[in-house]
Copies of this chain bind each other. A is one copy, B any other.
Amino acid sequence: MALELIPDFATGPLDRYRKNVSFDWKKLKIFLETEEIIKFVNELCEEIKQHPILCPSLLTQTLDDVRHNTVKKLYTFLSIPAIESTYTSKINKTLAISTILYNLDTDTMVKMSVSIVLFASTLITMGTERHLSYVQDVLAKKVCSILPTLILYSSSFQIVGCFCLTEIGHGTNARGMRTEVIYDVNTKEFVLHSPDFEAAKCWAGGLGQSATHAVVFAQLITLDGIRRGLHAFVVPVRDPNSMLPYPGLIVGDMGEKVGLNGVDNGFIMFNNYRIPRENLLNKNADVNEQGQYITAIKDPSKMHGASLGGLSSGRVNITHMGYVYLTKAITIAIRYAGVRKQFGPEDQEELPIIEYQLHQHRLLPYLAAVYHLKFLAKNLNEVIAEMFNNSLSGKAIHPDLGHEIHALSSASKPIAGWTARDGIQECREACGGHGYLKGIFKCRFNLPKIKKETPLLSSCWFRQLKK
């Protein structure tokens, strides 16, 4: 019986409200989540409890400790059989795993998303067969059909990726990127070069300390002198044994941020850095041994779109994060408001603050927003997953679908970011001083931490909307 999958709440001061509810909350939960997912989540949570390293730290750690612990947690996640064995192409289970991991440890989840999922999915979708060696661990698991929501990777992997698009001088205006790449017909190599510091690639997650390889977007200038626009290359950046950068590269750390410090964002400059011709991700365009440029996409604007289309799933993931974060915060704030009593009729017991209309007015719209964001993220994820699977299996895709997903994800990311940002702040203030305690994480919810990191979600909205 599905209802038995959901334990009762512990009795306590919220009973007075829970007993008066006009519907069966367990049935609603089953309707929203499905019995299959609830069972799956229960099993996964039991498995996670077996790993003490995944227990959240209550105190501030130094930057080094945060990063080391994030890598350890990442490998722990990847070793969990409940994730690996039950992982299927069903997007609902993928989302359930994401929800748990964002709740448990956003740093690790984001590091996994960027260093493994985004890197591998870019190679698979923009590259061709010759690039599959970089993702052999992924392929060995035969799970590539579930990209781009893939989170599996062999725990023995030697390749840690990162994604280098943004430059110091250009983020929003992606067409203005100035990292250049030319082809040397004598050595059959591409030569990457950063003309100045403003052309340094920056903010790439994982590049600061841990990446061995990077996907690098650069302006391709062919032998005929024509600028062909942004093309992507897979570039070795560190010796996987010594973890030292290769000669010809300047690689550095962006430094400590206000949040998400488990992700080591970095920058990189290329000084006529050579890579094999085969490292061009050549699904949409290629340069042959003689240096001729070959592509079926004649319109440079369409080439630009094809190069950056893979970022849509990242934006949808961020939409999903907004939902997860705000869900945490609104749950804390509403429960607190049902327990916290202050003021009331003279000579009678004080009233729970949720009884005040002002307090309801502050919180309940964000409770509604949680459901909106949940369905928005779920729907977009389903559409992207279907498009992706159709693409990989060679099925026809409506020519406008990619553009539409680009537009919708570019809107859903800031909407979710702003809503979560403002909602979490409202929830924090609605909890008085307690909203500012780190120890609130003890109850698996962490207002200070989520607030710190949520603004990161919405900072790039301008960039997305201008595209």
Contact = CB atoms under 8 A, between A and B. Distances in A.
Contacts of A458: 429
17 contacts: A58-B255, A58-B256, A60-B62, A62-B62, A166-B433, A171-B432, A172-B432, A173-B343, A255-B438, A255-B439, A425-B455, A429-B455, A429-B461, A432-B460, A432-B463, A433-B459, A433-B460
A436 B261 CA distance: 11
Interface string A254-276: 11111101000000000000000
A436 B259 contact: yes
Contacts of A451: 258, 455
A73 interface: no
Interface in A415-467: 421, 425, 428-429, 432-433, 435-439, 447-448, 451-452, 455-456, 458-461, 463, 466
Given A58-B255, A60-B61, A451-B455, 18 more contacts: A60-B256, A171-B433, A172-B342, A172-B432, A176-B342, A203-B433, A255-B439, A256-B439, A257-B437, A257-B448, A258-B437, A258-B448, A258-B451, A258-B452, A259-B436, A425-B455, A429-B461, A452-B452
A419 to B, nearest CB: 14
Contacts of A341: 169
A436 B260 CA distance: 10
A421 B426 CA distance: 12
Contacts of A433: 166, 171, 202-203, 459-460
Interface centre among A171, A451, A458, A459 (most CB of B within 10 A): A459
Contacts of A5: none
A59 interface: yes
Nearest to A446: B258
A343 B172 CA distance: 8
Contact of A60 (B60, B254, B343, B455): B60
Interface centre among A254, A436, A451 (most CB of B within 10 A): A436
B173 A257 contact: no
Contact of A59 (B63, B429, B455): B63
B448 A436 contact: no
A169 B349 CA distance: 13
A142 to B, nearest CB: 37
A170 interface: yes
A267 to B, nearest CB: 11
A350 interface: yes
Contacts of A58: 255-256
Q: Which 8 A-B pairs have the closest CB atoms?
A: A258-B448, A256-B438, A255-B439, A257-B436, A173-B342, A258-B436, A172-B342, A173-B343
Interface in A251-306: 254-259, 261
B448 A428 contact: no
A170 B343 CA distance: 9
Contacts of A460: 432-433
Contacts of A455: 425, 428-429, 436, 451
B170 A342 contact: yes
Interface in A395-428: 421, 425, 428
B342 A437 contact: no
Contacts of A61: 60, 62
